[in-house]
Amino acid sequence: MRRRRPMFLALAMLTAFASLASGTLLLATKREPEFYTTAANRPADWDSHEKSAKLLTRILDLQNDIRGKEEWGDTFTADELNCFFAENMGPKDGLCELLPKGFHSPRIAIEGDRLKLGVRYREGFWSSIVWLELKIWLVADQVNVAAVEVCDLKVGRVPFGSQSILDKIGDVAHESSIEVTWYRNKSNPVGLFKFFAKQPRPTSQVLTLEVKDGKLTIAGRSFLEAAPATPAGVNPLPPAP
């Protein structure tokens, strides 16, 4: 029996360390990023209701402008978008169906030229925040193509490199007539997002897509006839600073 004690002791220590590691990992996955907590804890008041309603009207107006005006565009703040998310994309809200199954309550932050997007997965104790830090720019020499670089992807505080998350982003974009192709730039995934992809010859062209200092700006022009064909060659690298 004495010879077995060291083995039992080693197994007990190994089990204890494994339990500690599992518990630490669980706590890390449940730690919410600061930007998400700040946005999610914003009190729902009359101002947030009004911002959400106005934003929905502006989005519908922008869609109509793209179809019917020569020039169009708008700028949305992170606060306005978060009010809209809080009012319309909670776990029981109808627009939550636009997200992949199990995901709800998105929140964003725009810091400099980086956009942080967090989405809650599941509900209750086992829920966690999947979040990304993105860099976005229009691709040179391409019509209606934006590059989205995933600079960071985590669950809570734990780095997460699942291709399935990127595929889900592509699926959501596809529902809005945006086709996505993923490749890697060094260690970071980069998605090429082609707008108006379901139109054989798009009549609208995105000229501005800017993420900067708490705001998202999109602007462009539309044509009575189809725009010129997309030039050959892809240069997805961001513009020089």
- Which is nearest to 74 in space by CA: 47, 99, 96, 54? 54
Q: Please give the Cα distance from 92 to 121 (Å, whole number).
A: 13
Q: How far apart are CA 152 and CA 7, in angstroms?
A: 42
pLDDT at 33: 87
Nearest to 76 by CA among 52, 55, 98, 48: 55
Q: How far is CA 131 from the centre of its chain?
A: 8
111-150 tens-digit pLDDT = 999 999 999 888 877 788 888 999 999 998 899 999 999 9
- Residues 155-173 pLDDT 10s: 866 667 667 778 888 888 8
Positions in the chain short of pLDDT 50: 1, 8-9, 11-28, 226-227, 230-234
Task: Report the alpha-carbon distance of residue 200 to residue 212 in Å, rounded.
Answer: 32
Q: Shortest CA distance to 155 belongs to which of 103, 113, 115, 109?
A: 103
Residue type, 169: I
What own/partner pairs with CB < 8 Å and gap ≥ 24 does 164-167 have? 165/130, 165/132, 166/191
How many CB atoms neighbour CB 48 within 10 A? 18
Residue 26, token pair as written in the block: 């669980």
Count helices and strands in the chain by DSSP H and E runs: 5, 10
CA dist., res. 208 & res. 128, Å (int): 34
Contact status, residue 86 vs residue 48, Cβ threshold 8 Å: yes
DSSP character at residue 235 = B
Predicted pLDDT at 108: 94
* pLDDT at site 4: 53
